[in-house]
Amino acid sequence: MTTADMQPDQLEDAPRGEQFYQGLLDDEIRPVPVSLRATSRGFTGSGGIERSRYFDPEFHRREMEGVWSRVWQMACREEQIPNVGDSIVYEIGDWSLIVVRTAPDEIRAFHNSCLHRGTQLRTKAGNVAKGLRCPYHGMTWNVDGTLREIPCEWDFPQIDPAKFCLPEAKVGSWGGFVFVNVDPEAAPLEEYIEDLPWHFADSPLDERYLTAHIVRTVPCNWKVALEAFIEAYHTMAVHPQLLPTAADSMSEYDVYGPHVSRMITAVGVSSDHLENPLDDLEIVRAMLGSKDAEVTIEPGSGARRVLGDRVRASLKRRTGRDHSHLSDAETLDGVEYFLFPNFMPWAGYLTPFAYRFRPDRHDPDSCVMDIMVLEPLPEGEPRPPAAKTRHLGPDESWSDAPELGVFGRVFNQDGSNFGRIQRGLRASVRATTTLASYQESRIRHFHATLDDYLSRSATER
């Protein structure tokens, strides 16, 4: 299936998730951002996904060639390299880039390979303002990629020092994130990210700062991990503790252009999986984690309004900014966007995350998952320094990262299935998986775009 085959109007009536969520917005007493009204129903067919693409080394090779060598990828936050010379190393498959701030308002990405005999110039983040010096024979480049020094220069008569610069990848930025693309022919990032800036106009991510960055290697294909975060269908089985306060099965799913999709799960509403729905008081108490919490719900109000007020007050306390204009939806709901192939920034304030999923070099049974937490900037203060990146070891879980708070348990619940899914996909006797028509429409949309890239790459070969 390709994106051209999609028939978004095949569902005659709006799906129940869309109807439910848009109905909740109708009940708001504050204006809601127009982006929350931008529904784009997600009928992407009813087929499953070929299971071999989750473990076949040949499929992985095709992804490297046709996808990772062509797409824009989030490399870091701008505030992770705040000073001239600050750099990180971004790796994907065999690609390795040094992403470096070369001037106060300029970031560039150099291929991380010495022009002499190929040694990696950098293996980790750090400041390279004094130059990028190869550890093997000492050739050195300036922070802007121009050549600074060749030991025994007399022995390299063939080199024109003015032309012996480090090759660069493309760099772009949006929302405080730095993106890279190793394809010299790539269209600009602005085109690639489609309407994402418009969707985040009321929740600008460049006005946030990084309060946590947790990296963990997990035992499954990068698509297996990613797909666990673009549907809420699994909530009932994996996160039952969320059912009193999240309308999981009534989530709205929207698919937009080939690169962007969205899922919205209302919070402050109990799941219809519960035999006995909770009343407003019970929902608020469940959110507060106390059955006896003192709670007042005024006539005409409800759980979402009460909880929204709490979040608005908390934001005011934490940032000094007035957030009283925010709708309950913006304060509470899980509004998660997906940018192909592997980046998930959230709008809203209760779940201020961004995720990234990458293959673990060339192992199709392993991947690297990044979780970033992005809190709103305090008013009138300098931007706080970015949190240090924390790499969890093989014996650690997300609960070992207190920065994730109560969400550590939720991520652990997700992660507890990763190895089993990967193993089960290999063990299956069926050619394809089976997907829900609506709730898993983003998975199909994701694979349709993947297929488009792969077929384009095959045609060009």
The single residue listed with the structure tokens 């022919």 is 185
Q: How far apart are CA 182 and CA 70, in angstroms?
A: 7
Binding to ligand FES by residue 114, rule CB under 6 A?
yes
Residue 117 is a binding residue for ligand FES (CB under 6 A): yes
* Residue 98 found at the interface with ligand FES (CB under 6 A): no
Q: How far is the CB of 121 from ligand FES (least distance, A)?
A: 8
Q: Which amino acid is at 92?
A: I
Q: How far apart are CA 55 and CA 58, in angstroms?
A: 9
Smallest gap from Cβ 138 to ligand FES, in A, equals 6
At 351, phi and psi to the nearest 5?
-125, 75
Residue 456 backbone phi and psi in degrees, to 5: -60, -45
Which whole-number Å values give the CA distances from 249 to 5, 53, 276, 357, in the listed order? 26, 28, 15, 25
Write the DSSP string, 394-432.
Answer: TT--GGG-GGGTTHHHHHHHHHTTHHHHHHHHHH-SSSB
Q: Tell whether residue 123 is a contact of ligand FES (CB under 6 A).
A: no
> What is the spatial distance between Cα 79 and Cα 389, in angstroms, rounded to a whole number?
12
Candidates 135-143, 192-200, 336-344, 418-426: pick the segment binding ligand FES (CB under 6 A): 135-143
Q: Stretches 53-61, 68-76, 132-140, 432-440: which one binds ligand FES (CB under 6 A)? A: 132-140
- Contacting residue, 16, 30, 62, 116, with ligand FES by CB under 6 A: 116
Determine which residue in the list 38, 136, 290, 384 makes contact with ligand FES, applying CB under 6 A. 136
Applying CB under 6 A, what is the total number of residues that bind ligand FES? 9
Among 76, 134, 228, 404, binds ligand FES (CB under 6 A): 134
CA distance 450 to 222: 13
> Could you tell me the end-to-end alpha-carbon distance of the chain, in angstroms, rounded to an integer?
21
Kindly state the smallest distance separating residue 150's Cβ from ligand FES, in Å: 8
Which region among 11-19, 90-98, 134-142, 346-354 touches ligand FES (by CB under 6 A)? 134-142
The only residue of 137, 318, 391, 426 in contact with ligand FES, by rule CB under 6 A? 137
139 binds ligand FES (CB under 6 A): yes
Contacting residue, 119, 301, 351, 417, with ligand FES by CB under 6 A? 119
The residues binding ligand FES (CB under 6 A) are 114, 116-117, 119, 134, 136-139
